[in-house]
Chains A and B, each alone.
Chain A
Amino acid sequence: MHEKILLQNQNPDRPATLEEYRASGGYGSLAQSLRGGSPGDLVAAIRDSGFHGRGGAGFPAGIKWAGVPTDEPGPRYVVANTDEMEPGAFKDRVVVESDPHQVIEGMALAGYAVSARKGFFFVRASYEHVAVLMENALEEARWAGFLGENILGSGFSFDIAVHRSAGRYICGESSAQINALQGVRPNPSKGGPHLTEQGLFGQPTLVHNVETLACVPHIVRHGAEWFKSLAASEEAEGTKLYTVSGRVSRPGCYELPNGTSLREIIFQAGGGMAQGRAFKACLPGGGSTSLLDETFLSAAMDYESLKKIGVRMGTGTVVVFDQDTCLVGAVLNLTQFFARESCGWCTPCREGLPYIRELLARIENGLGAPEYVDIIGEMADQMRHSYCAFAPGAAAPIQGLLAHFRDEVEEHLRTGGCPFNASPAGPWQEVWSSPEQERPGGEP
Chain B
Amino acid sequence: MHTDDLDTHLDALVRSAETPREKAVDVMLALQRRYGYLSDEALERGSRILGLTPLELEELATFYDFIYREPVGRYVIHVCDGVVCWMHHENAVFDHLRRRLGLEHGQTSADGMFTLLPVSCIGDCHNAPSMMINGQFYGRLTPSGVDRILEEYRNKPAEPPSYG
Contacts and interface: CB of A to CB of B under 8 A. Distances in A.
Interface stretch (A141-149, A211-219, A411-419, A431-439): A431-439
B99 A87 contact: no
Nearest to B25: A166
A181 interface: yes
A89 B82 CA distance: 10
Contacts of A438: 96, 143
A184 B129 contact: no
B22 A181 contact: yes
Interface in B78-128: 78, 81-84, 86-89, 92-93, 96, 99-100, 102, 119-128
Contacts of A16: none
B100 A442 contact: yes
B123 A126 contact: yes
Task: Give chain A's interface residue range (CB within 8 Å of chain B).
Answer: 35 or more
A198 interface: no
Tell which of B24, B87, B120 has the most Cβ of chain A within 10 Å: B87
Given A90-B124, A166-B25, A431 B84 contact: no
Contact of B29 (A166, A183, A317, A333): A166
B152 interface: no
Contact of A164 (B19, B29, B83, B121): B29
A164 B25 contact: yes
Nearest to A332: B86
B26 A425 contact: no
A11 interface: no
Contacts of B123: 84-85, 89-90, 93, 124, 126-127
Contact of A166 (B65, B89, B102): B65
B59 interface: yes
B33 interface: no
Contacts of A343: 63
Interface in A80-103: 84-90, 93
A183 B89 contact: no
Given A85-B121, A185-B63, A337-B82, A429 B88 contact: yes
B65 A164 contact: no
A182 B21 contact: yes
A321 B25 contact: no
Nearest to A337: B120
Given A165-B64, A169-B120, A444 B99 contact: yes
B126 A251 contact: yes
A201 B19 CA distance: 9
Contact of B143 (A84, A126, A431): A431
Interface stretch (A30-38, A220-228, A241-249): A241-249
A129 interface: yes
Contacts of B22: 163, 181-183
B125 A251 contact: yes
Contacts of A183: 19-25, 50, 60
Contacts of A48: none
Interface string B144-161: 100000000000000000
Contacts of A426: 88
Interface string A135-175: 00000000000000000000000000001111111000000
B140 interface: yes
Contacts of B24: 183
A432 B97 CA distance: 12
Nearest to B60: A185
A429 B18 contact: no
A128 interface: yes
A89 B123 CA distance: 6
Contacts of A93: 123
A433 B126 contact: no
B89 A333 contact: no
Contact of B21 (A167, A184, A186, A253): A184
A374 interface: no
Interface string A166-202: 1111000000000011111110000000000000010
Nearest to B136: A129
A341 B122 CA distance: 13
Q: Which 3 A-B pairs have the closest CB atoms?
A: A183-B21, A166-B64, A245-B125
Given A165-B25, A429-B88, 8 more contacts: A85-B120, A87-B83, A126-B78, A166-B64, A245-B128, A334-B83, A432-B142, A433-B92
Interface of B: 18-26, 28-29, 50, 59-60, 63-67, 78, 81-84, 86-89, 92-93, 96, 99-100, 102, 119-129, 132, 135, 137, 140, 142-144
24 contacts: A85-B123, A87-B83, A88-B82, A88-B121, A90-B124, A126-B78, A126-B137, A163-B22, A164-B29, A165-B25, A183-B23, A184-B21, A185-B63, A246-B84, A247-B87, A283-B83, A317-B125, A330-B87, A333-B82, A334-B83, A337-B82, A432-B96, A432-B129, A438-B96
